[in-house]
Structure 1
Amino acid sequence: MIVKGYPRLSETFIAQEIEGLEQRGLRAVLISLRHPTETTHHPVHERIRAAVSYLPEYLYQEPLRVLRGWWAARRLPGYRAARAQWLRDWRRDRTANRGRRWGQALVLAHELPASVRWLHVHFLHTPASVTRYAAMMRGLPWSGSAHAKDIWTTPDWEITEKLADCRWLVTCTAAGRDRLAALAPGPETVSLVYHGLDLAHLPAPSATPRLRDGRDATDPVVILSVGRRVEKKGLDDVLEALALLPRDLHWRFEHIGGGPLGAKLKARAAQLGLAARCTWHGPRERSFVFDAYARADVFVLASKIAGDGDRDGLPNVLMEAQSQGVACVATRVSAIPELIDDGDSGLLVPPGDPAALAAALESAIRDPSRRARMVAKGAAIVRSRFSFDSGVERIAGWLKSGIAAARRAPPT
């Protein structure tokens, strides 16, 4: 299984899937294109038994390893076809990243254990390129999981060719499925499989009623957001919305997550006079996140489409918040409306609209009984429509049947 980085706090859905596949009898070797940058990890990472190997993150850092990979890979039966494919891609995408993908693929093709019969990759952009080139060199079948940014920022020509080469691909939103299916060679190539939540490993929601309504200055409503500090998460819109809330409402805002926009967001909070009411926790482990859900009254996620086309898929944090009894206020972006029925299981507003977001937040804050009704509906939807077990069972079945077929006809 090839991933972009491992372990990553923001990609619990990948770790959850790996663990689920192991529980269903699949043995994986994890290959990561990047080394971890965070000092903490989630309990699910400790439960995963698969060994992890790291490809050269930048080719200049391990030139001898890349050279050894090329020296061995050029003798593989599929080397010429893979090199021809890479050259065609290079002519359409003359970037350093495209060159790095080829070097990583050479190392991957050389170092893969001989026992490997199938490659499965998470993300359709860079990781899938490395996987595709290596699979061609080794004569191996491959499949993939597409998620969010990779669907919307990868050019059509590249998606079309990768979908023609892979055996099958899953994605976690109907919106993403529709885009990919329009570029696929046939309707059977792309399937919708929601990540879902592994409820067996989640704490029980707090039994304490969340009755705060913003009137008590000594017990303010807690508004929580979890996600990376990047453009598509809309944290700038959250701050603008908070600044628009009526002065008679008492609240405090907590954010969990890292990312490049941290300093800019903190500066904007100070400019808006919100700094004293905002707590920025940074990236934290899963137990800390769930403790935050337990003390929160409202969860807000103002997702939007970034300038480069990047956008969320179906954020796990929304499902987590609903499972923990927190009312959600979010935006109509990507698959979020597939999870939240506006006015029934949460509140949805247009993306990039701080005024509408402020109105929804005020409505949720002032009416605890409505929040409780939305929470009950949201929790029921998570359990009934977004089952982790059913999704991972489908993926495990496809992998097992593919590996069995590959063993009957081993690569040359």
Structure 2
Amino acid sequence: MKTIAYVLTAFPVLSETFIGNEMRAMQAHGHRIVPFVFDLRDGPAQPRDDEIAAHAVPVARIPAWQGLRMLPLAWRALTFLWRQQRLSRRSLLWNGLKLAGAIRAAGCSHVHAHFAGGGAAHGVVAARIAGRPVSFTCHGHDVYAEPEDLEVKLAAADRVVAVCADLESDLRAMNSRAALVRIPCGTDPERFQPRDEDAGDNGRFLFIGRFVGSKGLDDLFEALGFLEGKHRIRLDIVGDGPLRAQIGDAAERINRQAFHHIRLLGSRDAAWLASHGPAYRAVCLPFKATADGNRETGPLVVKEAMAMGLPVISTAFMGVKEMVTPQTGILVPPADPVALAQAIGRMDAMPAERRRAMGAAGRLRLLRHFTLGAQAGALSAMVEAA
């Protein structure tokens, strides 16, 4: 099996669990993984990601001589260097040379990056200089909100991974010749398990995600307003982010009305979710696109909820449409608080047996289509064929 160089802009990042998950799954599939990281962080992270980070190679610490010895092969990357406009050509070339030398020294035979930003650009340059195939995975903001020379990268890569059908279609519209592969991010059904069959739920709904506009918390708060006097909703919110102050103020206003009850639990890692998540009545995840185009394309939290046997309330948006069916949850149009309120009320009033059946159907669908093992198998096949 090929040794894979992962070129990452930042790692570990608490909210980007899918990157560490993928690397561990590829290791389990038989690949050796060598992460090269520009911003190797020591802040809050998933404990399992810390283990990978301990063996990652900081790009800044790659010896200069490894780059200098690759200088005669720099011509291989000149076409991409010239066509891309986002990054300094001098910096991109120098980092690419160092990476190419380190990639060869580590015995890597494939280069992969996550997000179509700086990591992908450096991955392309390094791979071309080193004479290795290169791929990268597109997610959301890197395509819709902050695209960086995306058409140039689509043309340069040997493979480009899209995590859902809508994303694949949009990328194909940008470059019909791009070598696109659709591989949804998966989750580990052994780690995320349902609660015991004879245990009831805790009567609370769960939201989990970063505090950014694309998660739809503003719509969720507005939906709760439509439910006042009808359904008394208890909601736990797990996460943090740029909109922390606004979300805190909104939750406080709702709590002052003394009808619904919201708890802000702060950031929690995947271990917390696996331990506490199965007890909830349902998850509520009203994704949408923001004014700048930012959006979720294949949110992993939906699949984690399905693995835990939780019914899903979400929006018929991007990859969520591929995950959630009428048998496993309730989908509403994005940015529609009225429809969202109706879905929450319907779920709250639903007999417990029906909710449990819905959750069981969700886990079965997860096992059939969205496991981490299936993701690793598809990605491994792509890497081996490149």
- What TM-score range do you get, normalising by the shorter chain? 0.7 to 0.9
Question: Structure 1 residues 153 and 106 mapped into 2: Cα distance closer, same or farther (>3 Å)?
Answer: farther
**Does the 8 Å CA contact 1:152/1:309 hold for their aligned counterparts?**
yes
Unaligned runs of 5+ in 1: 57-64, 213-220, 403-412
Q: Distance in 2 between matches of 1:39 and 1:50?
A: 14
Question: Structure 1 residues 159 and 315 mapped into 2: Cα distance closer, same or farther (>3 Å)?
Answer: same
Counterpart in 2 of 1:78? Answer: 73
Matched to 2:246, the amino acid is K
Which of the residues 2, 6, 11 maps onto 2:11?
A: 6
**Structure 2 residue 245 is the aligned partner of structure 1 residue 263:** yes
Alignment of 1:193-212 (within 5 A): 193-210=183-200
Counterpart in 2 of 1:162? Answer: 153
RMSD value, Cα: 2.9
**Structure 2 residue 168 is the aligned partner of structure 1 residue 177:** yes
Counterpart in 1 of 2:324? Answer: 340
DSSP 3-state at the match of 2:263: strand
Q: Which moved more, 1:267-276 or 1:31-40?
A: 267-276
Counterpart in 2 of 1:283? Answer: 267
In the TM superposition, residue 322 of structure 1 has moved relative to its aligned partner by: 1.8
**Does the 8 Å CA contact 1:118/1:142 hold for their aligned counterparts?**
yes
Q: Which moved more, 1:383-392 or 1:325-334?
A: 383-392
In the TM superposition, residue 259 of structure 1 has moved relative to its aligned partner by: 1.2
Alignment of 1:38-117 (within 5 A): 38-43=43-48, 46=51, 48=52, 51-56=55-60, 69=64, 72-73=67-68, 76-80=71-75, 82=77, 85-90=80-85, 93=86, 104-114=95-105, 115-117=107-109
Q: Distance in 2 between matches of 1:17 and 1:74?
A: 32
Counterpart in 2 of 1:409? Answer: none
Question: Structure 1 residues 307 and 364 mapped into 2: Cα distance closer, same or farther (>3 Å)?
Answer: same
**Structure 2 residue 302 is the aligned partner of structure 1 residue 318:** yes
Deviations 1:216-250 (A, max 9, x none): xxxxx311011111111111111221232233533
Matched to 1:334, the amino acid is M
In the TM superposition, residue 204 of structure 1 has moved relative to its aligned partner by: 4.3
Question: Structure 1 residues 338 and 100 mapped into 2: Cα distance closer, same or farther (>3 Å)?
Answer: farther
Q: Distance in 2 between matches of 1:70 and 1:161?
A: 29
**Does the 8 Å CA contact 2:9/2:119 hold for their aligned counterparts?**
yes
Counterpart in 1 of 2:3? Answer: none
Question: Structure 1 residues 134 and 262 mapped into 2: Cα distance closer, same or farther (>3 Å)?
Answer: same
DSSP 3-state at the match of 1:175: helix
Unaligned runs of 5+ in 2: 1-5
Q: Distance in 1 between matches of 2:288 and 2:253?
A: 23
Matched to 2:83, the amino acid is R
Counterpart in 2 of 1:217? Answer: none
Q: Distance in 2 between matches of 1:195 and 1:239?
A: 29
Counterpart in 2 of 1:140? Answer: 132
In the TM superposition, residue 107 of structure 1 has moved relative to its aligned partner by: 4.2
Q: Distance in 2 between matches of 1:208 and 1:4?
A: 45
Counterpart in 1 of 2:285? Answer: 301
- How many pairs are equivalent? 377
**Does the 8 Å CA contact 2:74/2:129 hold for their aligned counterparts?**
yes
Counterpart in 2 of 1:242? Answer: 224
**Does the 8 Å CA contact 1:206/1:325 hold for their aligned counterparts?**
no
Matched to 2:77, the amino acid is A
Q: Distance in 2 between matches of 1:250 and 1:42?
A: 36
Q: Distance in 1 between matches of 2:110 and 2:357?
A: 46
**Does the 8 Å CA contact 2:141/2:295 hold for their aligned counterparts?**
yes
Question: Structure 1 residues 401 and 81 mapped into 2: Cα distance closer, same or farther (>3 Å)?
Answer: closer
DSSP 3-state at the match of 2:166: helix
Matched to 1:252, the amino acid is R
Q: Which moved more, 1:277-286 or 1:266-275?
A: 266-275
**Structure 2 residue 35 is the aligned partner of structure 1 residue 30:** yes
**Does the 8 Å CA contact 2:165/2:319 hold for their aligned counterparts?**
yes
Q: Which moved more, 1:223-232 or 1:262-271?
A: 262-271
Q: Which moved more, 1:306-315 or 1:177-186?
A: 177-186
- TM-score computed with the length of structure 1 as normaliser: 0.81
In the TM superposition, residue 333 of structure 1 has moved relative to its aligned partner by: 1.3
Which of the residues 2, 8, 17 maps onto 2:22?
A: 17
Counterpart in 2 of 1:371? Answer: 355
In the TM superposition, residue 55 of structure 1 has moved relative to its aligned partner by: 3.0
